[in-house]
Amino acid sequence: MSESTVHDPEQPGGEQPGREQHSPERPVDEGTAQQGSGHPAFEYEKDGAAIYRRSFATIRAEADLGALPPDVAQVAVRMIHACGMTDLVRDLVHTPAVVARARAALRAGAPILCDAAMVASGVTRRRLPADNEVVCTLSDPSVPGLAVELGTTRTAAALELWRDRMDGAVVAVGNAPTALFRLLEMIERGAPRPAAVIGVPVGFVGAAESKDALAAHPLRLEHLVVRGRRGGSAIAAAALNAIASEEE
């Protein structure tokens, strides 16, 4: 083999391991380079505002929102947007004034109490009307001991640290059915009443039952729930964001 045919990776023009070599006579097409040889670039919507507009228009076209009051329908659209299921509407149960009461509470500066950090993280702070405090007490160092003392889950035990903030607050339970049951127990025993409860814990054990308990409870708390097993932190945060601001 002559010297002219030997490729030294350390020399200019030598092959670089792991790097595709392109002839200088053939300019590289940017789209082809991004997708791989022979594959065209993807065509998709890149404008965030346009994506939101089209998403909400699709939801309003496909979901049966006609039976809902306008303010609840607006919240439902956001909840559907978070989960992609337009049939969520059929499982929504709410008191007539839940959105109005929750909005009034937030405008007055009420805190938002969340059972899980994922719910709290999902709240869009710029939408809050009064720079409202968003609270999740699950990571407090005292919670593991409280859970042992009370014989319950950590998420439920963490609600004990809400007591001085509960009066007139907006509560969102998106993760743990035990937290929703515990909330009802606390209020039954004299804890302050929140202004409204978004009750959408998800799961196979206790989720449906906890939401049914909230909806049927003689305390008559203002509430918005998704019946059955469906729910979750994203849906809870979406409901809060829709309540916080009427801007879609």
Contacts of 95 (CB under 8 A, 6+ apart): 220, 221, 222, 223, 224
22 is catalytic: no
User: Phi and psi at residue 83, in whole multiples of 5°?
Assistant: -120, -15
Alpha helices in 67-224 (DSSP H): 70-83, 98-107, 117-122, 143-150, 154-157, 177-188, 207-216
Tokens, residue 197: 């409860």
The CA distance from 182 to 186, in Å, is 6
Catalytic residue among 7, 39, 81, 217, which? Answer: 81
Tokens, residue 120: 């709290």
Q: Are 77 and 63 in contact (CB under 8 A)?
A: yes
Instruction: Fill in the amino acid letter for 64.
Output: D
Q: Which of 181, 171, 174 is nearest to 105 (CA)?
A: 171
Contacts of 206 (CB under 8 A, 6+ apart): 177, 178, 181
DSSP letters, 83-106, are: H--GGGGGGEEE-TTHHHHHHHHH
Active-site positions read 81
